Chain A
Amino acid sequence: MAGDRKLRWTGTGLGILGVAGMVLLMWQVAFWVPTEATMGVVQRIFYVHVPAAWVGCMAFGIVALTSAVYLWLRDERLDMAAQAAAEGGMVFTTVMITSGPLWARVAWGTWWTWEPRLTLTLLLWFIYLGYFMVRASTENPERGKRFAAIVGIIGAFNIPLIHLSVVWFRSLHPQPVVVKPEGPTLHPAMLQTLMTGLVSFTLLFFAGFLLRYALEHSIRGEVPTAAPSRAHAYGRPDTMEGVS
């Protein structure tokens, strides 16, 4: 399929750019950016943690958006996009919730604490774990897509809460330093390093997204999107399917 090949090439191109960005980021983090005054060297995790958090939330935002439109238009491509974005989101959220404790152990003196932002993020991870489980455990694939879309939409209610949790509740998690009403309050070199991180993580995400989408597309093949004919393709004439 010609479309698939184009997606793969674009994905590979973005991936190469993303890896180059990562190399630059690592150089900046290790040799270039000044050390933060109070936290010391461990603050450098920030340049991985924050981009991962950003990409994770963006990915699940994409999942919610494509899922909502999928329920409306029932276009197979939207479901494939949601699935690809959800897998990317899982990867980057995992990076976020593993890099966080490494930093917290030094900065707070504890790996984990029951703090709104941490808790909500962990829950976000589990909600999207459920997203994959629901998708996998239905016999009728159309039903799995619909159920996954519902979970994907509900899970996204969490994202604004995560962003606002540090502002609303008096929380232990550091306050935002970039996205806030009075503009960024960060040393220019730090801001620049963070931007490298954000850009290269975003590029890597979209690279993975496109490649995953193309893969899913070739797995599912050129099946018409309307539900009944799809049910036939699975050898189950129009079924209300399985007494479970």
Chain B
Amino acid sequence: MSRYLAQLGAVVRKDLTLELRTRERLAAMGAFAVLAGILFGYALDPTLVRPSDVASGFIWLTIVFGGLLGVGRTFALEEEERAIQGVLLSPIPRDALYLAKVVSNFVIVGLTVILVLLVFALFFGLELRGNPTLLVGVVGLGTLGFVATSTLFAGISNRTRMGDTLLPILVFPLLVPVVIYGASATSRVFAGRPPSEVTGSLRMLAAFAIVALGVGASLFRFVVEE
């Protein structure tokens, strides 16, 4: 078990070090988040709708669209120089490799999500009236489900001719629960509704994340085999 965790940790450390040095994905996703916030802001007519009412939906769309930018590149570097062969030759179990990729993506996307929340709070005049811990729970579980699903499919789309073009087509249908429950819970937390109105969505997000992680971990070896 500790060996498993050590191997998992090694891949996470490698990915995060690489990201820390290049800051490629973080920069792309961060810029996307701010620009999407601006575009969404202009897409609304503030005399017809109050921006703060629709902000939660836009927050989740930005997380999903922007997140895919980064997650889509999960295996890009390794695929380029066939470095993936090296990773696969190491004695790390395939599911540990998948979980490591999920963890490092979760950290990277998680940082972006914080930025997204700040951007929308600023541009859309959002005020947090509810419990901050609850918000962390909603956003954390939603992001985990998102990352668990899209990491598996990033492995697939990366090895097809269509590349990242294919990724949204494969992942969006599966991400609908994350957007539905994430957006409704987020808007309720921001509006300061009682926690009992959010627990149902939290449970759904948790269930989704667990199923996605389980399915991803068991099917990932078929993605990278050969």
Contacts and interface: CB of A to CB of B under 8 A. Distances in A.
Interface of A: 71, 119, 123-124, 126-127, 129-130, 133-134, 137-139, 142-144, 146-147, 149-151, 153-154, 157, 227, 240, 242-244
A129 B174 CA distance: 13
A45 B43 CA distance: 40
Contacts, number: 72
Interface string B131-169: 000000000000000000000100010111111001001
Closest 7 CB pairs of A and B: A123-B173, A137-B160, A137-B162, A130-B170, A126-B173, A137-B161, A127-B173
A243 B79 contact: yes
A243 B160 contact: no
Nearest to B211: A157
Interface in B58-105: 79-80, 82, 85
Contacts of B85: 240
A243 B223 contact: no
30 contacts: A119-B176, A124-B173, A126-B169, A126-B173, A127-B174, A129-B169, A130-B166, A130-B169, A130-B173, A133-B166, A133-B170, A134-B160, A138-B160, A139-B161, A143-B159, A143-B226, A144-B160, A146-B225, A147-B160, A150-B152, A150-B156, A150-B222, A150-B223, A151-B170, A240-B85, A242-B161, A243-B80, A243-B82, A244-B79, A244-B159
A134 B161 contact: no
B219 interface: yes
Contacts of B173: 123-124, 126-127, 130
B215 interface: yes
Given A150-B156, A150-B219, A154-B219, A134 B225 contact: no
B24 to A, nearest CB: 18
Interface string B182-194: 0000000000000
A149 B166 contact: no
A240 B159 CA distance: 11
A244 B159 CA distance: 7
B226 A240 contact: yes
Contacts of A227: 226
A138 B159 contact: yes
Interface centre among B152, B169, B176, B222 (most CB of A within 10 A): B222
Nearest to A125: B173
Interface residues of B, number: 26
Interface in B184-226: 211, 215, 219, 222-223, 225-226
Nearest to B158: A244
Interface of B: 79-80, 82, 85, 152, 156, 158-163, 166, 169-170, 172-174, 176, 211, 215, 219, 222-223, 225-226
Nearest to A135: B160
A184 to B, nearest CB: 32
Nearest to B157: A134
A133 B162 contact: yes
Interface centre among B152, B163, B225 (most CB of A within 10 A): B225
A123 B177 CA distance: 11
Interface centre among A126, A138, A142, A244 (most CB of B within 10 A): A244
Interface centre among B85, B223, B226 (most CB of A within 10 A): B226
A130 B160 CA distance: 12
A142 B223 CA distance: 11
Nearest to B216: A154
Contacts of A143: 159, 226
A150 B170 CA distance: 11
A137 B163 CA distance: 9
Nearest to A238: B226
A147 B79 contact: no
A70 to B, nearest CB: 10
Contacts of B80: 243
A21 to B, nearest CB: 33
A67 to B, nearest CB: 10
B161 A154 contact: no
A137 B23 CA distance: 30
Contact of A153 (B163, B219, B226): B219
Contact of A149 (B158, B162, B222, B226): B222
